[in-house]
Structure 1
Amino acid sequence: MNLTEITTTNDQASGSAFPDTPAANRVSAAVAASPWTSDSKRVKEIQSVHRTWQSLLTVIAKAPDRAVAAESFVKQLSLELPDHTIRLGWAIERLGSTPTTGWKLDRLFDSRLGWLGKDNSVYQSLAVGFAKVHEEASPEGMTDRGLASVRRESANWLFELRENAQASNRALVWIRPPQSDEETLSSFEKNLPEDVLQTTAAVFFSRPVSGRWEQFSRRVRRWWSRRASIGIGTLLLLAISCIPTAYSIDARATVTAMNSRRVAAPIDATLLTVHKRPGDLVVIGEPLFELDGRPLRIELEALTAEIEEASKDEDISLANGEIAKAQLAGLRRQSLSRRRDLIVDRMDKLIVTSPIDGIVIQGDWQHSLGTPMEIGQTLLEIAPSDSVEVELEIPEVEIGYVDADADVKLWFPAVGDLDFRTNVQTVYPSATIRNDENVFIAKTPMPSGEATRGGNASGESVTPLRVGMQGEATVVGPMRPWIWKWVRLPIRRLGWVIGW
């Protein structure tokens, strides 16, 4: 891309007025008419500067706004003058400003430090010099080039760019060469055509200033102090934290069987046969397991023989007229008969049956055959197959916020994305110790058919919960400020300490 293409492209993009003759043609004409055209070395220097400025105009023309254009211009020029310090600053037209007074530096970009703020010492020093440029009527060393001018100020070279002849907006480029090398910059300035600087000014000021919103935000940032921002932020945080929300109480949840029945050994006996294992469905009256009745049968046979002997003794005594002996034999027979009835009753309990219809959830004695059982020892647990319930462990400090019929949301890792919603049915009046914590137990009914996937109330049928699953529960309490959950206990402890 040559200089003519850059200028034409930028004219179409921004609609700004450029010089009548394209800069590239005028530079070429200036080079052709130059007295140094025959000097090949000088021509090469001019062509080198020409190519350098083409790249600068390219990055300016591609920039979306003036800030990006300034940053790109300084960085690109730093590549051509690597050991030089380059800064670019500009001011926009303000109310009451004139071409010679009222100018204030608006933005400043440094090739080494980046964008400088107003509290920076370099910014403050250059701002003073920026305001004095137009106050000097004909400063020594100033070369006027229409929309652009070049001057030497102390150790700096200043390139001034104006938006128009009235200088409604203008920018300054400060270039400070190394202490031992001013020849490069001097040669660079001498070989720089006037039309190139004018084109640079036109292209730079054709870039739009930041949008209204950014200007407004910049003014707000100037006005806004750190103390004010912290104060407003604190007030906003307090306002948000005081928004009333439903107080949530976290609790541990465990799935238990609703109306489950435990089946225990009815007598002291040895386990003989097991008919059911966990997971098997049972109906009322169906055999679950059998106990060994051989010792009872042996004892029953012995008692039967003794009863017959006592009956004979009673009959013989009555025949001999021995009334007293007959009465003693009768009492002995009655006692033995009572013992026989007890043994018969125990033998009727050798086959243990299911008390309800349901499913066996605990008790696998398949590998414990022949083990002596004690009366009352739990062997199996049977739960109804149509429903389960959830046991909640409510922390002691939160029990005051749990009401009957409060909404509960349950989540169990074992069932993934399933949501369970229910209500508190009952809360035990006394606390108990669970996992070294003092908690209150609450019961919530949870029919397995009410579980829905992803909380969808349409009721997609899912796999029932399994007894023993553990998860997390959230009990919905009364309305309280959002921050109340975190500050309630510290405030209460602090009040206790200070006696409030």
Structure 2
Amino acid sequence: MNPATQAAQAPQPTASDTPPRDTAATSGPTAPPTGPTTQQAGPTAPPVDAPPPAAPPSELARLLAAWRARLAAAGMPCRAAAFHSDDAAWTEDFPPAEAALVAAWPALRERVTPDNPVALVKVAGATGQELLMATRLQLPSGASGTIGICLPPPHNERTVQLVLLSLGWLQLTLSAQTFSKHLHSARLLELLGHVASQTEARAAAQEWVNRSAAWARSEAPAGFSLSLSLFEVRRGVPHWWVGADTAWAEKASPAVQESSEIALRAAVEMRELQQGPWWALPLLDNGEPSAVLVARCDGGEWPAPAMAVLRASAGLGEPLLRHWREAGRSLPRHIVDASRGAWRKLREPGHLTWKAAAGAITLALAALLLWPVPDRVTANLVIEGRVRQLVTSPFDGFVREALVRPGDRVRQGQVLARLDERDLKLEQNKYQSERDQAAGKLRQAMAEHDAPAVALASAEVRQAEAQLALVEAKLARATLTAPMDGLVVSGDWVQQIGGPVETGKEMFEIAAADGFRVVLHVQDKDIARVRAGQLGALRLTGQPQHSYAFKVATVTATASVQDGNNGFRVEAAWDAQAPSLSPGMQGVGKITVGEANLLTVWTRSTLDWLRLKLWSWWW
């Protein structure tokens, strides 16, 4: 308990306790004091070893003193009181001089439970056997605390009942504080709701200032006059924005100039200022002033409730107005402010994260712009034999036998497949019979010396022999053989025995085994940068761990479409010893067409597409 409360609770001296006054000291001339001290006119200076002034009583001490006064007025004095809770602000102990109370108090408050709301114990005190009583009270925060009361004798059952009844006033006072705080919070939320319902930042600021001023006036005593203005800080300088009950203000007026001066001081010093009738509160954002609230009081000293209202309203309303004001800026203004903020963070002390990020970005840009790398064109490729020949079907027929499959190595003249010959042999027998009949007619006509018949029979013989020669030629080609030594690249007919084939249908593709070439499909957007003689490297799908060098031999004008991309055929030769390959193998090749920085390499495709689109849209 603080000294002021102890003094209020100490027993007051009576007339009998006052020592008699020295009559000699009050009558006749006063003798001069002896010793080194002399009496001086005017206010007496406090002695050097005087104790420091007592601290002002806490809210809890004031409430307990008021309750004890009410209890004493009812004829029931309370010699001492204490309060215990988990909150240090709501804790008041017995005076240290009351050793008996201090010793009994911890054990007594432990006995207070929901089943035993009141605990009593008698202790030896200055007035005899005193009654120490403990019970529960609810704090404004909603938590519970225990109050201890020391009552001098006499004691009876009615004493406890009257004390409990008087505690109702104390509980009601504590609850009233909670209710007041709830009303305060509800009014703040209502104010923010009105501010948020506006359509623009200035209208919201005007609504906030008007309602904050009206609320502060309602908390002040009668005759209190308040004017309120809000300054927004731009580049460290406050500028008048809105004022309470004022749609606009003359910037050159003395009142605005005077309020601007204290607003500037508050923004520079970044602390609350009070100078005469003026009061300024800087509103900070990340340690920098974003606005200044300036008020003028013409009714005397500033009332504490009104200042508390303005502080609470500013703390909640200003962030909303600031974000609203920032969001209402134009895009160029956003960019300029963001750039200035970033530059300020890089230039001023601190902000190590920003400085490290800026250094990393600078190094990355330097690498992107100054580090030359090979400029390559990437294309899909396929391995082809240097010489290729096709084996086609000589006539319409059916596959009778297939002896090889793709991937098999064959020798020149080796049988690849056989076609069905039965229909051809029937035709062969037919034309042989027709030829024999025509030859018999020719012999008979010659024996009869019938010249016209000889000519007609001779024509029939020649026609039959021609038909027979054609059939025999087809029979000779019914067996498909390899035209050269090499590798079967395509033509899997093993699973199609008996299947039909048409004249000229590709049956097999044979690639020479003594040389291969690389055929790349370069997209049309990159073909202009590819030239004969350029070097490159490739990796095959089946051998992704090995890279092989090649040299561009020919850029053809043959266009083709692969995977939906139009491109051109580019042939290349091995720049070194060719690896062990097979025709038809696929992979990816990269042709080195020059040098460029990384940014150009990574953005070329996007920039080319953008240029083409802009050109097509522009015209």
Q: TM-score, with normalisation over the residues of structure 1?
A: 0.48
Question: Bigger radius of gyration, 1 or 2?
Answer: 2
Q: TM-score, with normalisation over the residues of structure 2?
A: 0.40
Q: Which has the higher contact order (CA 8 A, sep 6+)?
A: 1
